[in-house]
Amino acid sequence: MLQSRRHVLRNGRRHAASGRPWRGAVGLGIVTAMATALAAGPAGAAEPPAPREAAAAVDAAIDASMEAAGGAPAPACDDAAFLRRAWLDLTGDIPTPEHVIAFALDRSAEKRGAVIRALLDDPHYGLNWARYWRDVILARRIEDRALAVADALEADLSAWLNADEPWDRIAARFITAEGDVREEGATALAFAQDGRTEEFAAETSRIFLGMQLQCAQCHDHPYDSWKRGQFHELAAFFPRVGVRPVQTTTRRSFEVFASDRPLGRRPNNENRPQAEHRMPDLNDPAAPGTTMAPRFFLTGSRLPLGSRDAERRATLADWLTESPWFSRAVVNRLWSELAGEGFYEPVDDLGPERPLQAEEALEILASGFAANGFSLKWLMETICLTTAYQRESRGRRLPDDPAFTANVAQPLRGDQLFNALLSTLDMPEPADNGQPRAARNATNFRRRFGETFFYDPSDPRETVAASIPQALLLMNSPSLQQRISGERPTWLASLLAETDDPEQIIAEIYLRALSRPPRDAELATAVAYLGESPRLAEGAEDLCWALINSAEFRSRR
């Protein structure tokens, strides 16, 4: 893959932060391997489907459901749109002008597939999706101190994703995690919920099964047939987990821990371990409530009261990852991220009684994903190879229009947008300069930017609104403005030193910012503008500013 030196340098630096040693979870490997083997079917069965084969089957299923609904598909997107989309989706960054040009000139029929594979092998693939899951998990934190786990989560998950560690094994890591939250990224799910029994259970189900039973925390579920008892039986896998501070002479942190020692009666759902979970009595909240034995709501499998924590959580991880909903949930979520709309919507509210689109396509992906050992790279590659993924983007469809006739434009996540700015303006990754953690969080540009542009990736994208502080940051931030200058030692100044041909300058700015050449009308507008500007540099600066502040820059089409 063509990589400019500048890009490699910057990316190398950006990635160095996550180059932490990989820690395997001893003991879970065998269970996971068995589950994988089971999912793959009996020995000697047919080879698991290859991405291209599966993609064709998915397209056939989608076309059938689209035709049945009377939909007409949008045409395939052009090369420039595809390249920017695939870069942002897989590595969270935009391609350089060199990439765009090389891709456009490549005559190979297989070039899109080749780019997809190359991007999946780029270390930024893991980092990009680690940041995605970090946002998914931490968006629902019940305490802001949970942000302390963010760096470890990003680093660990990034390594696991780049190694294409099976998703069932990654899920088991989160469900069974223990340890210092600044060192063990997998503690994020528990720590985000302060180790509280009911919340940890609810988030485990929401994220890994796409099912939200917590409505049933207080009453039977209003839309589904889940009963209140079923939620509390799920919670009964987690009562022995807690969170406590750890303090050494040099630093303060927290740890997720479990205890099987008999503990005195504590209030329910605290952040300290208790022997068993109790379902509160709604009519008498002060009463101790009903002791619940662990039971998995999807299969009815149960563990006895008194089971050790290690057994409870490891067993739940096994049962949960064996469920077909485990595959459906992640397939649905990633399809939604890549194609712009899920089979089920929203992505964390699935269930046997929920309506869905193109069910057969979902099942092809879910069974192929399981048969391929829960390989996320297989899943990503398959989705990106579908014609459905590679269609032009349109706005979100109306509720009664057929689904999947086009890809759907989406707002960039904070980290994607920040990367796009670094690439466009040739800015280095902000360094932490060895500052203490608190100061770093307050001053690091990526973090502050991420806060301003944050949205919960589980939210339906049409509900994600842009804010005034976001607009102000892109319009006025001094850190960005100094990189737009045509007079300092910036990329723009170098460009202006090389040429004073307005058309060339405009084309280069478009390629850098939007990964495409300007359209004729845009070129005419920009040429006229540069012509009227008091100085060429000033016009070029203004054009760069206008593109960075445009709707197109902030979205992935």
State the nearest-atom distance from the C-beta of 198 to other proteins, in Å: 9
**Do the Cβ atoms of 224 and 351 come closer than 8 Å?**
yes
Query: Which one-letter DSSP state was computed for residue 265?
Result: -
Nearer to other proteins, 371 or 530 (CB): 530
Contact (CB, 8 A) for 426 and 494: no
Q: In the complex with other proteins, which residue's Cβ is closer, 299 or 467?
A: 467
Measured distance CA(67)–CA(76) in Å, rounded: 17
Give 285-308 as a DSSP string: TTS--EEE--B-TTT--B--TT--
Residue 341 to residue 344: CA distance in whole angstroms: 8
Which residues lie closer than 8 Å to 109 by C-beta, 6 or more apart?
none
Give the HSE-up count for residue 376: Cα atoms under 13 Å, Cβ half-sphere: 28
Specify which residues 256 forms β-bridges with: 179, 243
Which is closer to other proteins, CB of 16 or CB of 465?
465
Ramachandran area for residue 427 (φ above 0: left; ψ -120 to 50: alpha; else beta): beta
Q: Among residues 504 and 549, whose Cβ is nearest to other proteins?
A: 549
Of 101 and 473, the one with the shorter C-beta distance to other proteins is 473
Q: How far is the CB of 75 from other proteins (least distance, A)?
A: 12
In angstroms, what is the minimal distance from the CB of 200 to other proteins? 9
Residue 10 in tokens: 């910057």
Cβ proximity to other proteins: between 23 and 397 the closer is 397
Shorter beta-carbon distance to other proteins: residue 24 or 469: 469
Q: Shortest Cβ distance from residue 464 to other proteins (Å)?
A: 8
CB atoms within 10 A of CB 179: 16
Q: Which residue number, 124 or 483, has a Cβ lying nearer to other proteins? A: 483
Least distance to other proteins, CB of residue 233, Å: 18
**Closest distance of CB 555 from other proteins, Å:** 6
Minimum distance from CB of 270 to other proteins (Å)? 10
Residue 200: both structure tokens together: 């940890």
Count Cβ atoms below 10 Å from residue 467 Cβ, excluding itself. Answer: 11
* Chain CA centroid to CA 79, Å: 24
CB of 407 to other proteins, least distance (A): 7
Q: Which of 447, 449, 444 is nearest to 417 (CA)?
A: 449
